[in-house]
Amino acid sequence: MLQLAGDVSDPQSQRAAFTFLSKSVGVWGQPLPDGITGEIEPGSQGVPGFERFVYENVVPTAFAVLSLPELNIKDGQVLVVRVSSLLLLFR
Half-sphere exposure of residue 66, counting CA atoms within 13 Å on the CB side?
A: 16
> Left if phi > 0, otherwise alpha if psi is -120 to 50, otherwise beta: which for 74?
alpha
39 contacts 90 by C-beta, under 8 angstroms: no
The answer on pLDDT for 56 being more than 70 is yes
pLDDT-derived band at 42, boundaries 50, 70, 90: low
> Left if phi > 0, otherwise alpha if psi is -120 to 50, otherwise beta: which for 38?
left
Q: Where are the domains of the chain?
A: 2-89
Round to whole Å and give the CA distance between 52 and 54. Answer: 5
Predicted model pTM: 0.69
Q: Residue range 10-25: average pLDDT? A: 84
